[in-house]
A and B are shown apart, each in its own frame.
Chain A
Amino acid sequence: MKSNTSRAAVRPAGACIVFAIAALLLAIPPAASAGTFGKVVSIGGQGADLALDESRGVLYVANFTANRIEVVSVADGSVQTSFNVASQPSSLALSPDNRYLVIGHYGNFASPNAPRNAITLIDLTTSGRQTFAIALPPLGVAFGVDGLALIVTSGEFLLFDPVLGTIQALDTVANVSAKTLPQPANNYPPQIVAASVVASADGRRVFGVTDTILFTYEVEGRRLWGTGYTSSPPLGPRTISAPADGSYFLAGWAVFDNKGLLAQFPDPSGTLNIGSHAVDAARGLIYAQVTQSTPGSATQSGSGSGGSTPAPSPAAAVPVLQVVDADNLAVRERLLLPENLAGKSVLSSDGGTMYAISDSGVMILPVGSLSQEHRVEASVEDLVFRGSFCDRRVTTQELVIGNPGGGSTDFVVTSLLPGVSVTPNTGRTPALVRVSIDPNVFQNQRGTTIGALRISSQQAVNLVKDVRLLINMQEPDQRGTLMNVPGKLVDVLADPTRDRFFVLRQDTNEVLVYDARNYNLITRLRTGNTPTQMTATFDRRYLLVGNDNSQIANVFDLETLEAQQPIRFPGGHYPRSIAASANAILAAVRSAAGVHKIDRVDLASRTATELPTLGVFENNVNINTMLVGSPNGSSIIAAQADGTLLLYNANVDTFTVARKDSAAASGAVAASNSDFYVVGNNLLNSSLVRVRDFGVASGTSSGFAFIDQGGLRTTAATASSPGVIQRVDLANTSTRATRLVEAPVLGTAGAVFTRSLAPLYSRTAIVNLTTSGFTVLPWSYDASVAVPRIESVVNAADGARPVAPGGLIRVAGRELSVVNLASRERPLPTALGESCLTVNGQPIPMVLVSPNQINAQLPFTAEGNVTMVLRTPGGVSDNFNFTVLPSAPAVFRSGTAGPLTDIPTVVRVKNNALVTLSNPIHRGEDSLSIYLTGLGRTAPAVEAGNAAPQNPLSTAVIEPTVELGGVEIPVLFAGLTPGEVGVYQINVSIPPTVPLGMQVPLVIRQGGSTTTLTVRVID
C-alpha cells in the first residue's frame, strides 16, 4: 500500500458502500467579533431531541438527564411548562396531525440496574399518556406521512401506531451496538444514544444514522434501505437533517442522496456532541455547525493562488454556524454562536427560525431575519497594489465596510502587514475605507507580498473574512499582465477548441470561465466540494471536474456551458485527479478504504469503476497522484508524490510503464504529443526515463506546457517571489528564461502537483495561474527585445540641450519602450509601460514612453553632472551622462494653429489664445502668459511628479527677466503652473513703450541662461 495521508473517512462496512473524508484544513476567519447569533434557552439538563409544534406555538425538548419534556414557547423562548416522563427521554416525534407526541426512552441500564427502555405516547389533545416498555433501547423515532412512528432500536425497526397503541416489527438491525448506562461523566446524548432519526417535512421519507448504519425508510412503500458504514472520524455531529422533499439527507458532516455521497464538509473533527444542521431547501441553504479538526489552517486539498494567505487567528473554541449552499456546501457566511449546538435541529415551516439542541438545552436561531442582525462585510475580497522599483508612490485603494442588512454596525480594520495604513480604521457601517501602501517598505520585494486586512466588530454576529492584500512590486524585466482573481485557484485549462479558458476556484467550489479575447469572466460553473482538477474529454465536448470532498466528477457541456449529470464514483472514492485519453477517461481517487485507486470513467453511464489492476501492476496509488493526458489522446501519465510514475497507453488500453526513480515527485505534470512527459524538473521519454533535468536553479516547478517542439516551464522560489518562465527547446538543452511579474502557484503538502500554465487555443496568449490570480503573457512574450539605448536628452519645450532641475525633458534613443503609453496619473508614475528611467539612481516620473522617445521630469534635486539609466524588459541601458543647469528656461513649442505647429506657448490673456502673427501682441493693452520649463527650483518646493499647488503658488527661486524688443517688461509671476507637472509660466504685461514689428524678439533670461523667440507686436 502506498503512502497516504491520515484522513477522516466513512465507508460502508463489508460489501456496503464506503465513504471517505478528505482532510481539508479549511481556513476559518478570525474570531474577532463579539456579537453572537441566537438565543439560548437553558433547560437544566441535557437536551437529546426536539420537535416543533407550530400549531401550538411550542417546541418540545427531550431533557435526557432530567427525565422531562420541556415545552418551550417559540414566541418568547421561555420554558412554558415541563412534564415528567419516564427515564432518559432520548428521542421524540410529533405526529403529522400534531395530536401525538411519541417519546423514546433510552434506558439501557446495565446490571445490576434494570433496563428501562420504553416508548411514551402523549395525546396532546387530551394530555393522555401511555408508556410502553420495549426490550431494546430506542435510538430514534420519526413520524411518517402515514401517521405511524418509525422507531429504531438497537436491534430492529418498529412501526408504532399511536391510535391503536400497537407496535409492529418492520425489520431487524444488525451490527448496531448500544451503549449501556451509566456512562462516564462528560458523555452527552449524541455520544450515548449515538443515533439520530428524522423525517422529511412531507413525511414520505425517514432518514437515520447510528454509529454503524445509515438508513432510509420510504414511508408509502414501507421500504427500508440500510447500509453499514465505517467512518473516520466519526460521522459527527450525530444528527441528521433533510430537505422538505427528502431528496437527500445530511448526516454528520456529509450530504448523501440515494446513490452516494454528494459532498462533505472539509476536514471535520467528527465530534459527535458538537454541532447540528438544518436544511432550508426553499433557499437552497444548509445551516450547520460542523467542527473542523484543525480550525484556522489553510486547505491542503490543492495548491493554488490564495493558499498562502496568512492564516486567520485560531478559532477552535468559537462555535460557528455556517450558512452553506445545499448542493456543494460552499460557505456563504459564518455566524458566531453563543454556545455549541449539540444535536438535532428543526426549521420552522417558513424557514425563518432554526431550533437546535445546544449545550444549555436549546437554541433559537432567527436565520430568516439575518438582515436585522449586526453584520459586517468588506466590499472586496482582494486589494491589489502594484508598484515597482521605479514606482515609489504611496498608492491608495478604497473599499467599503458595510452591513449586508444595511444597518449601522461598528468595525475595526487592522492590517496584518507593516507598511499598510488604513483610514479610518474604525467606524460604523457603511464606511469608505482607504488603504494606503508605502512602497518604500516593499521596495526590496520583487513579486507579490501577501497580507491581510482583519475586520472585527463588537456588535457583528458574523465572522468577517479577511481582505487579502496583494502588493506586487516588479522590475521592468518582469513580464506579464496580472489579473486579480480572489480565492484559491488550483487549476487552469484552456478550452481545446475555443478562445476561452477555465480556472478552478476551490474555496467557492466553482469553475470560472473566461473569454480569452478580453479576459472577462463569462460565467461560473458550480462543482462538487473542493474541486481539484479539470480535464476536457477527448471529443472536446465536455469539461470534467474532479472533487476532493465529493464522490462525483462534474460534467459540463463545453458548447453550452451547462451542467450535466455528474459521474458517480464507487463508494468511498473521491476523484482528485482526472484525465482523458482517446480510449479512456481515468481518475485518480482518494479512497476511504485507505488504498487509493485509479478508476475508469464510463461517460455514457456517468459512472466510474475501479480498475482491477494497472496492467501488470497493482491498482494502488499515492493519495497525491496527478493524471495528465496527452493532447493527441495517446497516453495519460500518472505522477505520484512518492516518485512513482505510471503511463497509460491508449493504444493498448493499459498501463505500460511504471517507474520509481526518485523518492518523491512534485511540481508540474505534462504530457506531449511526441511521447515526452514532464514531471517536476524532469523531462521523460516514452518509457518515463529521465532524459533531461531542468534543474532547480530557477526555483520550484509549477507549470509546464508542451508547445510544438518545445515547451514552456514556470518556476518560482516562493509564492512571494517573482516567477520565472522558461522557453524550453526539446531538441537541445537550451532554455530562455524570463521573469514573471509574480510567482506561479506552487504545490503544497496536500497537493504536491500543479498545473498553472494554459496556452490558449488561439495562440494569442499564455495564461499562468499566479499568486494574485492569473497572469497573461503574449504568445511571443520573449520575442527579441533589444537593450535600450539613450542617445540624447533635451528639454521637452524647445528641444534644446540645456535642462534644469524639475524641468520636463525628452529622452531620445532606441528600444526605449516596448509600447507606446502616456500617463495622465498624478503624481506621474515612475514606471510606465515596463520602462523605468533613473537619474543618479533615482526613478524619475514619466509622462509618456515610446520606442524612440520618453518624456519625463527631472528631479528637483538633480543638478550638475548626472547619469541617466533606462531599464526595460530588454535590459539596462548604458549610462548616459549630461549636465543639469540650475536654470534653463525654454518655451514650449507645442502650440498648433491650423496647419501651423511648433508655435511657442505664449498666450494673450485677453483672448486666451496663442500669440501668432494673426493674433499679435497689442502693446500697452496686453498681458501674456508664457508657458515654459526649466525655471529650476521653486519655493515652496514641489516633489517631482506632483502637480504644482494652487495655493500657495510655487515661484521660481531664480527670478527671470523678460525683454520685448529690447525693453524690459514687468514680470508679474514666474513659477510652476498650478495643476501641472514640470510646467512653469511667466506672466508679463506689455507696456506701450515696446517697439512694434512683425518679428520682435522676446528674450527670457534667468541666471546665466537665455531663451529667445520672436513675436509680432502691434498697437
Chain B
Amino acid sequence: MTSRTLFSAILSLAAAAVVPADLRAQRYEFGVGGGGSFYTQKDVTSAAGTVDAKFKPSFAATVHLGQNMYRYVSGEFRYTYQQNSMELSGAGQTASFSGRSHAIHYDLVFHFRPLGAAVRPFFFGGGGVKIFEGTGEEVVFQPLQNYALLTKTRQVVPLVSFGAGVKFKIGNKVGARLEVRDYFSAFPKDVVAEAPGASIGGGWIHNFVPIFGLTFLF
C-alpha cells in the first residue's frame, strides 16, 4: 500500500465518525487501548534447509470508533499499530529487521448483555487491510538471505479480524474493555521475501493481539 492508500483509509475512518442525523440518538463509543502483539511463525524452506520467519512479539496500540446500532450489536472502525521486528532464525544464524504494521478494519460486535449493562461480554468479527512495513537499514548482506530477504518496503494485505472480550461499565460515559483478537492476514511476501529457490510455507499468518482499553460513550 502506498502512502496514498493509507491516507484514504484514515479518511474513511474519519468519515465513519460523521454519522447520519437520524442515528445520533444512538450512543457512540470512542476507545483507545494497548496491549501485546504476537505472531505465529512461518517455515522458510530452501535447498539448504529450513529456517523460521517471524515477527517478534511486541506491543500494539489501537484506537476505535464504535456505534451501538442495537442493544446487542454494534459496529467498530479500528486502527491498530503494531511494531514487530522481523526475524529469520535457523542454521545457527539470525537476521533481524525493524518492522511495523497498520491494521485498519471494521468489525461487527455482538454482546451477550444489553447496552447499559455493567458487564458486557462480546465477540466480534470483521475485515480490512493490514499494511506491513519493513523499516530496517538495508545492508548488502543479510544472514540467511538465501532463505528470505527482510526488505525495506511496504505491503498491503487483506485482513480478517475476529475475537472476543468483555466490557466493564465504570461510569455513565466511561468504560473499560478487555479483549483478544486475531488479525489473520496474508503473509507479506514483499516484506519478507522468498529468496530465489526458497519458499515460505502457508499463505496466511495469525497475529494475536490482547488489548486492554478505555472507552468513552457519547
A interface with B by C-beta (< 8 Å): 895, 897-900, 903, 911, 913-914, 916-920, 922, 998-999, 1016, 1018-1019
Neighbouring A residues of B143 by C-beta, 8 Å: 898
Cross-chain contact of A898 among B138, B141, B149 (Cβ < 8 A) = B141
Cα A895 to Cα B139 with chains together (Å): 13
Q: Report how far A43 CA is from B139 CA in the complex, Å.
A: 92
- CA A899 to CA B145, docked complex, whole Å: 11
From DSSP, what is the main secondary structure of chain A's interface residues? strand
Between-chain CB contacts (< 8 Å), 22 pairs: A897-B140, A898-B141, A898-B143, A899-B141, A900-B141, A913-B139, A913-B140, A914-B140, A916-B140, A917-B145, A917-B195, A918-B138, A918-B140, A918-B141, A919-B138, A919-B139, A920-B138, A920-B149, A922-B152, A998-B193, A998-B195, A1018-B153
A181–B145 Cα gap in the complex (Å)? 113
A900 to B149 Cα, complex, angstroms: 15
* A1015 CB, min distance to chain B CBs, angstroms: 12
Closest to B195 in A: A917
Q: Report yes or no: A1018 in contact with B151, Cβ–Cβ below 8 A.
A: yes
* Closest A residue by C-beta to B138: A919
How far apart sit A224 and B117, CA to CA, in the bound complex (Å)?
Answer: 143
Q: How near does chain A come to B149, taking the closest CB pair, in angstroms?
A: 5
Residues of A within 8 Å of B154, CB to CB, are 1019
Of residues 140 through 190 on chain B, the ones whose CB sits less than 8 Å from some CB of chain A are 140-143, 145, 149-154, 190
Let me know if A999 and B196 touch, CB within 8 A.
yes
Contacts of A922 in B (CB 8 A): 152-153
List of 3 A-B pairs having minimum Cβ-Cβ separation, nearest first: A898-B141, A897-B141, A897-B140
Please measure, in the bound complex, the distance between the C-alpha atom of A631 and the C-alpha atom of B195, giving whole angstroms. 75
| Cα–Cα, bound, A913→B140 (Å) | 7
Q: Per a CB cutoff under 8 Å, which of A895, A911, A913, A918 touches B145?
A: A918
Closest chain A residue, CB of each to CB of B95: A918
Contact with A918, one of B2, B149, B190, B196 (Cβ below 8 angstroms): B149
Interchain CA distance A901-B193 in the complex, whole Å: 22
- Report which B residues bind A (CB closer than 8 A): 2, 138-143, 145, 149-154, 190, 193, 195-196
Number of A-B contacts (CB under 8 A): 52
* Distance between A734 CB and nearest chain B CB, rounded to angstroms: 60
B190 touches A1018 (CB 8 A): yes
B-side contacts of A895, CB under 8 Å: 140
Compute how far the CA of A916 lies from the CA of B141 in the bound complex, rounded to whole angstroms.
7
Question: Using Cβ atoms and an 8 Å threshold, which residues of chain B touch A917?
Answer: 145, 149, 195-196
Alpha-carbon distance between A36 and B23 when the two chains are bound, in angstroms: 117
CA distance A853 to B138 in the complex (A): 36
Closest to A895 in B: B140
In the complex, chain B residues whose CB is within 8 Å of the CB of A999: 196
Across-interface contacts of B150 in A (CB, < 8 A): 918
The answer to whether B151 touches A920, judged by C-beta atoms less than 8 angstroms apart, is: yes
Smallest CB separation, B15 vs chain A (Å): 27
CB pair B139 A918 closer than 8 Å: yes
Contact between A913 and B138, CB atoms less than 8 A apart: yes
Set of chain B residues within 8 Å of A898, measured between Cβ atoms = 140-141, 143
* A-B contact sample (8 more), CB < 8 A, given A897-B140, A898-B140, A898-B141: A899-B141, A917-B195, A917-B196, A918-B140, A919-B138, A922-B153, A998-B195, A1018-B193
* C-alpha gap A1016/B153 in the complex (Å): 13
Report the Cα distance A917→B147, complex, angstroms.
11
Q: How far is the CA of A1018 from the CA of B150 in the complex (A)?
A: 12
B140 touches A903 (CB 8 A): yes
- Interface centre among B138, B149, B193, by most chain A C-beta atoms within 10 angstroms, is B138
List chain B residues, Cβ under 8 A from A920. 138, 149, 151
Chain A residues with CB under 8 Å of B145's CB are 917-918
Which residues of chain B are within 8 angstroms of A919 by Cβ–Cβ distance? 138-140
Contacting residues, chain A, for B140 (C-beta < 8 A) = 895, 897-898, 900, 903, 913-914, 916, 918-919
User: B142's contact among A911, A913, A918, A1016, by CB below 8 Å, is which?
Assistant: A918
Contacts of B153 on A, CB cut-off 8 Å? 922, 1018-1019
Closest to A916 in B: B140
